[in-house]
Amino acid sequence: MRATIKEQDQQKEGLQRHGDGKQNKLLKGAALLGGAAVLSKLLGTLQKIPLQNVAGDVAFGIYNAVYPLYILILFAATAGFPVAVSKFVAERVMEGDHPGAKRIVVVSSALLMSAGLVLFLLLYFGAETIAGWIGITQTATAIRSVSFALLLSPVLAVLRGYFQGYQNMVPTAVSQVIEQLIRVITMVALLLYLVALAYDEAWIAAGATFGSVTGAGAGLVVMAVFWRRERRGDARKAIEASFETKQVISSWQWAKRITIYAIPVCLGAIVVPLLTLVDTFTMPRLLEASSGSELEAMRQFGLYNRGFPLVQLVVMVASSMSAVLVPAIAEAKMNRRVDLIRFRAEMSVRLAWLIGLGASFGLAFLAMPINLMLYTSTEASWTMAVLAFTALFSTLNAVSASVLQGAGTIRTPANALLVAIVLKALGNIVLVPRWGIDGAALSAVIAYAAAAGLNLVQLRRSTGVRFALRPYAVSPLLAVGLMGGGLAALQGLAMLASAAWHVPERWSASAIAIIGVAGGAAVYALALLRSGSISREELRLMPELERKLVALLAKLRLTNRDK
């Protein structure tokens, strides 16, 4: 009897270790995939700067007109399929049907390759027509260039979904980083080559967009290597030998199941690219009508897009910092801890607000030196300063959308972005003829503010969260004021030093921008901590943040115990 009890305890302990191992593997995989996504986004965001520096604002404008169109079509064709493939592969794996999991890959690849081929043909042979819709004929060459990526990206998406179904995130992470790295290398190499041979802006932009093709090819090669290595697994023969007893599902049934599951995800994924695409199909025509020149319209469009890489970096950082709270919200919901849901939701929004607010004002204060440092001129610095405030509302929108999804409210974020799309289009139509690219920047701020506002209203309804005045307005605005005063003093001193020592203008601007970003962030963060916008007790209630920050902040005496 004792032996039996001991055996049962050993079995329970083994099961617990197995469960903990699976959970740790999943968490490590999620962290690895998140890190790879951040790195690939960072590479993708920063690659635009050398394009503008070397080729100028016209080529930069053409690139920014075409690339959102490619992303929209790619998302529409493939976005939901990695999710669908990973779901059905995971189900097959749980039943021990590994050949069935591979069959899902074959069926999904056939589906997406067919869709990719159709879309490639439409883009390649319809490039002139699409360029006419945009209103800039010079975009046709870049549209044809990027269309080839649609022949490669579908299979890449399917293979990523397959490995994710096995909870193996390494292939996806490695392929994402390699894809972006090869894309950047291709863009820079073709950029230098085409500029050296004095090609026009249309061909230079086409060279930049062709990086998406070589990047997708490199990612596919990486996934093919993992696929081939996985097929050589020792357990494969034994598993396939027992497969005859499994229920066989026809390829047509799998195609139907995968498509039905993937389409809603695809529709949700295309909302964000649609918001970006509004500018592509409205601004060039409106700018050309104002300036009377297609070339000038593209140059203005390039100037307008200077500020977006910086905004995207802010949103990426803020979203990654707040992401640790979203699973915690889902866990609290499962445990029916209403008070914990409310606290964690409010804390997520407050972090997003504080990060976005400081970043927006910081970028606005430093718009001129940052513009000169990154893009060689101060032209459109005011536009960049206005666009800086999309960082605040984009961050709020992204984080509040994630919190709503964690709380089980899925439709509101998509509906909010649809409202933002309409507002952006109307705003461009009304404001661009009056104020040019400044009007487009203002319409972007209004659109993202509306989306964030709708999410926050729904968040308040669904979780009961309240937003107090002091932690959201009084203390942060005081911190912004201190930061702004410090940055103004820095720029004044730098101008005097530059004039006295005859420092080149771009070097001086670079020094101001780098010191200003670091110093301004430090002043803002210290002011927030000392004012009690975030207390030590609140940080302790969040394990990840508590482990990383509380001990350090306590030593430095930078947090108040109570608010």
Q: Is 517 helix (H, G, I), strand (E, B) or coil?
A: helix
What whole-number distance in Å separates Cα of residue 2 and Cα of residue 15? Answer: 20
The answer to whether 326 and 348 are in contact (CB under 8 A) is yes
The residue type found at 350 is R
Phi and psi torsions of 50, nearest 5°: -65, -30
> Quick count: other Cβ atoms within 10 Å of Cβ 16?
10
- What is the torsional sign of CA 417, 418, 420, 425? positive
What whole-number distance in Å separates Cα of residue 146 and Cα of residue 150? Answer: 8
> Quick count: other Cβ atoms within 10 Å of Cβ 53?
13
Structure tokens at 264: 């809603």
Structure tokens at 159: 């293979």
Alpha-helix runs per DSSP H in 532-557: 536-540, 543-545, 551-556
> Quick count: other Cβ atoms within 10 Å of Cβ 514?
14
pTM of the model: 0.78
Core vs surface per residue 418-452: b (16+ CB within 10 A) or e: eebbebbbebbeebbeebbbbbbbbbbbbbbbbbb
Residue owning tokens 């430090």: 522
> Quick count: other Cβ atoms within 10 Å of Cβ 276?
18
User: Which among 448, 162, 401 has a CA at the least distance from the CA of 268?
Assistant: 401
- The H or E element spanning position 261 is helix 251-269
What whole-number distance in Å separates Cα of residue 72 and Cα of residue 421? Answer: 14
User: Digits of tens for pLDDT over the chain (563 positions)?
Assistant: 444 544 445 544 444 444 444 445 555 555 565 566 667 667 766 778 888 888 888 988 999 899 888 888 887 777 667 777 877 887 777 777 778 778 888 888 888 899 889 999 999 999 999 999 998 888 999 999 999 999 998 888 888 888 877 777 788 888 888 888 898 899 989 999 999 998 989 999 999 999 999 999 999 999 999 888 876 654 444 444 444 445 566 677 777 777 777 776 676 667 777 888 899 999 999 999 988 888 899 999 999 998 888 888 887 776 665 555 555 666 666 677 777 778 778 887 888 888 899 999 999 999 999 999 988 888 989 999 999 999 999 889 888 887 787 676 767 888 888 899 999 999 999 999 999 999 999 999 999 999 999 999 998 888 778 877 777 888 888 999 999 998 998 888 888 877 778 778 888 888 899 999 999 988 998 888 777 676 655 555 555 555 555 555 665 555 554 44
Q: Is 543 exposed, middle or buried (0-12, 13-18, 19+ CB in 10 A)?
A: exposed
